[in-house]
Amino acid sequence: MIEVERVDFLSIPSQDLPRSRRFYEGVLGLPIDRETPTGVEYTCGQVTLGVWEPEKIGLPFAPNPNDIALRVPDVAAAREALEDQGVQFVGDTFDTGVCHMAFFHDPDGNALMLHRRYAPVEK
């Protein structure tokens, strides 16, 4: 057994770092945490998103098919703002009965989701 202290970052592969930077900084408006030798890291609430080019260090590129849920104050408003910038969504906004979700991809095909839980968390 090991002791895991926390998750340091989520890895987001890219094939074109300048294009990814335009998307994450310009379209999503994420603040840069720091640049790294292989990419850039963005502070996104309590998690860091590490966008990098795996092929530059000899690893294969494969987009992440598992949605990273980006919590926003209002899914409908955030979706409209992103659609106004050309972001295409997959299907309609989904209401699960406890949250709203809207699915889209970054320019490399990595799965992202706008998310907002509106029901209280039951304990």
Quickly count: other Cβ atoms within 10 Å of residue 106's Cβ.
22
What's the pTM value of the predicted model, to 2 decimals? 0.92
Q: What CA–CA distance (Å, rounded) separates 50 from 10?
A: 6
Domain locations in the chain as residue ranges = 10-117
Four-way CATH pick for 10-117: 3.40.50.300, 3.10.180.10, 3.30.930.10, 3.90.79.10: 3.10.180.10
pLDDT per position as a tens digit, 63-102: 999 999 999 999 999 999 999 999 999 999 999 999 999 9
Per-residue confidence (pLDDT) for residue 123, from 0 to 100 = 74
Q: What is the pLDDT of residue 121?
A: 79
Q: What pLDDT is recorded for position 27?
A: 97
Mean pLDDT for 30-54 is 94
